[in-house]
Homo-oligomer: A and B are copies of this chain.
Amino acid sequence: MTDNVPMTDSVPTTNDVHSHSMTIKRSVEEVYQLAERDGFALLDIAIDEDRLKRTLDNDSCGAFVCFEGRVRNHNNATSVDRLTYYGYDDLAINQGRAIIEQAKQRFEITHAIAIHRIGALEIGDVAVWVGVVSAHRYPAFDACRWILDTIKADIPVWKQEYYENDSSKWLSNNG
């Protein structure tokens, strides 16, 4: 640790401390184009699973595996009313691109796409979608699970759950 230390700070520019992480800057069309090109994007509205699936269609692929992570009505024993996901979009898409690139190197797959939703979600809403196509089935299963695990570990998205008694909590996948 050096002697070079912080000196002066500016004042906060807004009081709504989470608004920047509940919406994304690009249009929905741009999100799906990004997902198709790089394999990963954040989205702040409902995920169009059929569109993502169509994007993955490929006559050389005999296997399609997908995962949908949906908002549960409970977490352990606690009843969940709703929750909000917050995302750091610019880092998320850089890290997501790297995850999909790495998946294509590690597994014999043709293509993979994942989208994570941010903002306020209701019970049953899809929070994350991962789809993989490959010639054979095992690489699709393995890659889909690996991509999901890696998203959960590395993508800068945070979940705040709201409970029946109006309390809320920041969650951690590693806690």
B67 x A65 contact (CB < 8 A): yes
Indicate if A9 sits at the interface (CB-CB under 8 A).
no
Whether the pair B69, A137 counts as a contact (CB closer than 8 A) is: yes
A40-68 at interface with B (beta carbon < 8 Å): 50, 57, 59-68
Contact yes or no, B72 A61, CB < 8 A:
yes
When each residue 131-158 of chain A gets 1 if its CB lies under 8 Å from chain B and 0 otherwise, what string results?
0000101101100110010000000000
B74 touches A70 (CB 8 A): no
Report Cα–Cα, A140/B68, bound state, in Å: 10
Contact indicator B59/A68 (Cβ below 8 Å): no
With A65-B67, A141-B141, A141-B144 given, is the CB distance from A72 to B60 under 8 Å? yes
When distances are taken between beta carbons in the complex, the residues of chain B under 8 Å from A137 are 67, 69, 145, 148
Residue numbers in B under 8 Å from A135 (CB-CB): 72
Digitize A117-141: 1 where CB-to-B-CB distance is under 8 Å, 0 elsewhere: 0000001100000000001011011
Taking a contact as CB atoms closer than 8 A, the residue among B71, B73, B141, B148 that contacts A145 in the complex is B141
Distance, CA A135 to CA B70, complexed state (A): 9
CB-contact partner of A64 in B60, B63, B70, B123, under 8 A: B70
Contact B63 A70 (CB under 8 A): yes
Residues of A within 8 A of B (CB): 50, 57, 59-74, 123-124, 135, 137-138, 140-141, 144-145, 148
